[in-house]
Structure 1
Amino acid sequence: MSRTIAIAEEKRRPPTIQLPRIPTAICYKRPLEVRNHETNRIIFGDSDNYQILELIGRGRYSLVYNAFDSSRRDSCVVKKLLDEDTNRIKRELRYLSILKRGPNIIRARDVIRLDVVGEKFKYGVVFEKIRNVDFRILYRQFDALEIRYYLYQLLNALSYAHHQGIMHRDVKPENIVIDPDARNLRLIDWGFGALYLPGQAYFCGACTLAYRAPELLLGYRHYDYSMDMWSFACVAAGMMFRRDRFFEGVDERTQMQIIGRFLGRQMLDDYLQKYHIRSEAAQLVGQEDSMLDSQ
């Protein structure tokens, strides 16, 4: 059974879907192959052009390496995808292709085959190399001007993606690469991305828990680009208040409790009303009214 907090169907399914302010028809206008990722054909580059160096990062579905591109004679990064779901891989590659000209979005250079054994192999995505400083160190060094500067760059990336019809769905410091010397920011890791189609029901477990919007925590599946903006606000608050995680619960229930204490009952009710989630939703996470009173 999903850990996502269940809400009675009549409470979470809105009679009408509230559409975002960004134009919503762009995804319908895209060619069918963009929406049906299984039909996409991947053109592979020459893996001999790349020398894989040291491991610099790992995630649930990938390993990330420093590498050297002999054809360009410069450094790059290679992300080895461990996922066995070919359609999910094709989806990420398609989004990277759509977003390749976007500001402050990581640029994919090439796709190569790695660990080839017969007809089996791992996908490797070659990215531009951006120096990165651990956010746990970097954010604590920012002054007010630097915070505004980098948040503006992050908004540029999200605005471009949203106007292309793509939700990132995992905005968090680990997916934001910042080179403070070059004053560059890149939004990376589009593996959880999704095309926004009005009225479509999406997976509520998207996005890391500490950055997940209340409507997702409460099982609302018809969300839109605004889920990324909640995550953006959590990142911004972490920068401004010098905290690694501004809201940090251990599960959906405690996450909602922490958010509720911070926002106060009335503000939380006003927020949830946009999604036609009734105020009784607060009780579904085991809270008493006093816990949601304004501070």
Structure 2
Amino acid sequence: MASSARWSLGTAAAVDAPWPPEIEERYERLQKLGEGIFGRVYKARDRANNRIVAVKQLSGRSDGTFVQTGFLELAREVTSLHRCRSHPSIVRFRNVHAEKRAAVGDGSDDDGDSFIVMEYAGRMNLRVYMVSRGIHGMPFSEAEVRGIMRQLLAAVEASHHAGILHRDIKPENVVVDDATPMAAGGGRECSPLATSDAYRAPELFLGSADYDGRVDTWGIGCIMAELLAGTGAAFFEGKTAEDVFANMLGVVGARGIKDWLGPRQPGSGRRSAAEERARGCPETGRLRKVFPEKVLSQAGFEVLSGLLESSPKIRLTAAEALQKPWFNDQRTDDEGPRESPRRRGLLGVCFMSCATDD
């Protein structure tokens, strides 16, 4: 199960081990942006062109601090970035460097670290920004939520079209461009399986290995709920994964996932604890009570409930969600005219997960 990234924003880079000489020669390390189970992300200056970039250092060894990242993981991550390179809401790939493998005979079988250089989009993540807005009593308007959701869904749609599942959609993995007063930021860790509990789709709790891009749209639905709630906390919480699962089905309703499971067949064996919990949850949820019409219009609720549909078969895809009336051209004044997300400087989404086999 993926652990959450331990973001230590603003930490001085001097506390970390030196980079290899060939990397230090090219990049001036300015600031550590974040740290996850696979390595660290830094703000740096590319000496070759004086451009500010983000450098993700992936550990080539497993030392109790980081999970070892080998050539296959590096290739998948770079391929994912390259496939999505033209989308304005996905960070752009710049370069990749691999440290030389340890010399044979020195007693080490570890690979050297790898360095993925990306566009620098900001230094704080969406979670930090949501918490900051909550502390200062600045809730998100529905129009603001719609603008953010439009960009997130467009980015996910582009990645899915390229044959890539993100599989770890959560506010910590969304970078808010700091070129405007909306500045917030962060980095991203790659999940080896699929997202942390509070953003995990129901079918994943049930152990399904046959999932598609709708595990990502479920995560976007969770983010939408959090933006509307305005607390900065995860929308689906619980002390254990089982508690989170029961809580989410209690909110969104279990009818869809029960239909997806189908009736229990005679002789099918013992049901898992997760399936037992799903069967015992109420079919109808209370999502509309949590977000009444004074908080979210009917058109907006159609998107939210479609993204948080417990059945993966009928949950909205990113493309389907973007076709809903909520995203049409009749926008309120405070959302402003539609522009390129990069020119507006709102969000840059880091897609560095594994490519599918397509």
Q: Deviations over 1:200-241 (max 9, x none)?
A: xxxxx5111110000000111101111101001001100111
Structure 1 gap ranges (5+): 3-45, 194-204
Q: Deviations over 1:35-71 (max 9, x none)?
A: xxxxxxxxxxx63221123322100101111111111
Cα displacement (A) at 1:163: 1.0
Q: Is the 8 A contact 1:170 1:192 kept in 2?
A: yes
Paired residue secondary structure (1:121)? coil
Query: Partner of 1:34 in structure 2?
Result: none
Matched, 1:177 2:175: yes
Query: Partner of 1:159 in structure 2?
Result: 157
Alignment partner for residue 106 of structure 1, among 60, 75, 91?
91
Output the aligned Cα RMSD: 3.1
Counterparts of 1:68 and 1:126, CA distance in 2:
11
Cα displacement (A) at 1:76: 1.1
- Alignment-mate amino acid for residue 77 of structure 1: A
Normalized per residue, the structure richer in strand is 1
Aligned residues: 236
Counterparts of 1:217 and 1:79, CA distance in 2:
30
Cα displacement (A) at 1:127: 1.1
Counterparts of 2:274 and 2:91, CA distance in 1:
41
Counterparts of 1:152 and 1:282, CA distance in 2:
36
- Alignment-mate amino acid for residue 227 of structure 2: M
- Alignment-mate amino acid for residue 98 of structure 2: R
Q: Is the 8 A contact 2:42 2:55 kept in 1?
A: yes
Normalising by the residue count of structure 1, what TM-score does the alignment of the two structures yield?
0.69
**Equivalences for 1:273-288 in 2 at 5 Å?**
273=259, 275-278=260-263, 284-286=275-277
Q: Deviations over 1:264-285 (max 9, x none)?
A: 3xxx122442x34548888744
Alignment partner for residue 258 of structure 1, among 244, 247, 258?
247
Cα displacement (A) at 1:261: 1.5
Q: Deviations over 1:225-264 (max 9, x none)?
A: 1110100100110011113200022333112110122123
Instruction: Tell me the percent identity.
Output: 28
Query: Partner of 2:49 in structure 1?
Result: 72
Segment drifting more, 176-185 vs 144-153: 176-185
Q: Residues 283 and 95 of structure 1: is their aligned pair in 2 closer, same or farther, counting only changes over 3 Å?
A: closer
Query: Partner of 1:135 in structure 2?
Result: 126
Query: Partner of 2:190 in structure 1?
Result: 191
Counterparts of 2:222 and 2:45, CA distance in 1:
35
Normalising by the residue count of structure 2, what TM-score does the alignment of the two structures yield?
0.58
Query: Partner of 2:196 in structure 1?
Result: 208
Cα displacement (A) at 1:129: 1.1
- Alignment-mate amino acid for residue 58 of structure 2: L
Cα displacement (A) at 1:96: 1.1
Matched, 1:270 2:235: no
Counterparts of 2:185 and 2:125, CA distance in 1:
14
Q: Is the 8 A contact 2:246 2:281 kept in 1?
A: no
Paired residue secondary structure (1:126)? strand
**Equivalences for 1:21-170 in 2 at 5 Å?**
47=23, 48-82=25-59, 83-114=68-99, 118=103, 120-139=111-130, 140=133, 141=138, 142-170=140-168
Segment drifting more, 136-145 vs 63-72: 136-145
Q: Is the 8 A contact 2:205 2:274 kept in 1?
A: no
